[in-house]
């Protein structure tokens, strides 16, 4: 099977590319490198010992998209590309609509024109909005309340409408909860520029001494310890879900949505304490007011994916924090060799 992967050098995309290559799929990656680096391609090559085609392309450039699709006959697209920070989306909503929605619209148009009618979309649990029910099933009404979640919901709707309008289309939207962790090789992981928007990159940068304290946004939520609760899932479990979805789409026509999560919620302080215990590193904390767009608690009911995709998250929270720190330490080691 020949696969086009958008955003394939990003955090989740790069881990997927490794798994896809290791599973025998032929992979082409496009990425505009806005939140990634060409060095990630070298790391993937090193891990897999397999080559793959790469093109530096922005999804907003439809002409370049057409060129890529005409250069190879793709069976399926796995769509990761897009801006992804909730708080950032509240500050820059138009950038998120332009990058995520218009970029996806271009992608779907090109796919439709050139008869590539299978797609796996990287969606998000933020489409559920300020949910009052946990765990969340796929039937829970969508009600996104921040621009990032709105863009994910809009793209889901575009894909669902395509599948309803044309029976040749088949698609899966995978609603991620909170991926953390890294490849155990220490060669790839999440490495945002500046102050991280997500919890685990922030923790490991504090542990590495890049920041003095971990800012915890919100200590007055209606949760056992006052901090937000999320469903944290190892990125390798997440990409395993994509491989299962690939095999599912090989014989499926229509549109399906699946939650990808562990089904368990952990608070911010749970994650910090687990990180400290497993890695023997102290994380100083500074409590700050809640961020715009954050909610108190959210975790998945992943039963649908377990039944239909035959997928289940198997890696523990200990493994997640261990692999995250291993990734950070490997970066520090590589940096010291360059001095």
Over the stretch 202-222, which tens digit does the pLDDT of each residue have? 999 999 999 999 999 999 999
pLDDT of res. 292: 73
Q: Measure CA 180 to chain center.
A: 9
Tokens of 76: 């399926």
Same domain for 22 and 158, yes or no, is yes
Encode pLDDT of 136-184 as tens digits.
Answer: 999 999 999 999 999 999 999 999 999 999 999 999 999 999 999 999 9
In a domain, 186, yes or no: no
In a domain, 194, yes or no: no
Whether the pLDDT of residue 264 is over 70: the answer is: yes
How many CA atoms does the CB half-sphere of 120 hold within 13 Å?
A: 29
In a domain, 144, yes or no: yes
Domain interval for residue 331: 199-229+264-298+316-337
Is residue 323 within 8 A of residue 250, CB to CB? The reply is no
Same domain for 253 and 110, yes or no, is yes
Tokens of 151: 């863009």
Whether the pLDDT of residue 339 is over 70: the answer is: no
Same domain for 10 and 90, yes or no, is yes
Tokens of 259: 């939650």
Same domain for 237 and 163, yes or no, is yes
From 220, 247, 263, give the residue that closes a domain. Answer: 263
Whether the pLDDT of residue 187 is over 80: the answer is: yes
Same domain for 225 and 147, yes or no, is no
Is residue 151 within 8 A of residue 82, CB to CB? The reply is yes
Encode pLDDT of 83-133 as tens digits.
Answer: 998 888 989 999 999 999 999 999 999 999 999 999 999 999 999 998 889
pLDDT of res. 338: 66
Whether the pLDDT of residue 279 is over 80: the answer is: yes
Encode pLDDT of 288-306 as tens digits.
Answer: 999 876 789 999 999 999 9
| First and final C-alpha spacing in the chain | 43
Whether pTM exceeds 0.85 = yes
Encode pLDDT of 31-84 as tens digits.
Answer: 999 999 999 999 999 999 999 999 999 999 999 999 999 999 999 999 999 999
Active site residue 148: yes
CATH of the domain at 75: 3.40.50.720
pLDDT of res. 160: 99
In the predicted model, what is the mean pLDDT of the chain? 96
How many CA atoms does the CB half-sphere of 230 hold within 13 Å?
A: 23
Under DSSP, the state recorded for 141 is P
Catalytic residue among 148, 176, 202, 221: 148
């Amino acid at each position: 099977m020949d696969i086009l992967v958008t955003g394939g050098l990003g955090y989740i995309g790069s881990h997927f590319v490794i798994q896809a290559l290791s599973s025998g799929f032929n992979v082409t990656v496009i990425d505009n490198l806005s939140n990634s680096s060409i060095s990630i391609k070298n790391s993937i090559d090193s891990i897999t010992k397999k080559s793959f085609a790469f093109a530096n392309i922005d999804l907003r450039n439809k002409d370049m998209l057409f060129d890529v699709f005409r250069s190879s006959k793709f069976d399926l697209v796995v769509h990761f590309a897009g801006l992804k920070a909730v708080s950032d989306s509240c500050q820059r909503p138009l950038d998120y609509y332009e990058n995520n929605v218009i970029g996806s619209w271009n992608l779907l148009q090109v796919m439709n024109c050139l008869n590539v009618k299978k797609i796996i979309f990287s969606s998000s649990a933020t489409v559920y909005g300020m949910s009052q029910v946990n765990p969340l099933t796929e039937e829970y009404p969508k009600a996104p309340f921040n621009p990032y979640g709105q863009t994910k919901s809009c793209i889901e709707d575009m894909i669902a409408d395509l599948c309803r309008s044309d029976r040749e289309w088949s698609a899966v939207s995978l609603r991620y909860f909170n991926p953390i962790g890294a490849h155990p090789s220490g060669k790839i992981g999440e490495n945002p520029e500046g102050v991280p928007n997500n919890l685990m990159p922030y923790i490991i940068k504090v542990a590495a001494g890049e920041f003095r304290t971990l800012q915890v946004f919100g200590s007055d939520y209606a949760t056992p310890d006052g901090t937000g609760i999320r469903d944290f899932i190892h990125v390798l479990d997440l990409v395993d879900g994509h491989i299962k979805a690939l095999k599912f789409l090989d014989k499926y026509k229509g549109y399906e949505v699946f939650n990808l999560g562990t089904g368990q919620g952990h608070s911010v302080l749970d994650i910090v304490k687990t990180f400290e215990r497993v890695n023997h590193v102290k994380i100083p904390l500074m409590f700050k007011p809640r961020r715009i767009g954050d909610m108190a608690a959210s975790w998945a009911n992943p039963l649908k994916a377990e039944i239909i995709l035959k997928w289940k998250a198997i890696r523990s929270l200990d493994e997640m924090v261990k692999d995250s720190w291993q990734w950070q330490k490997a970066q520090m080691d590589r940096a010291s060799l360059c001095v």
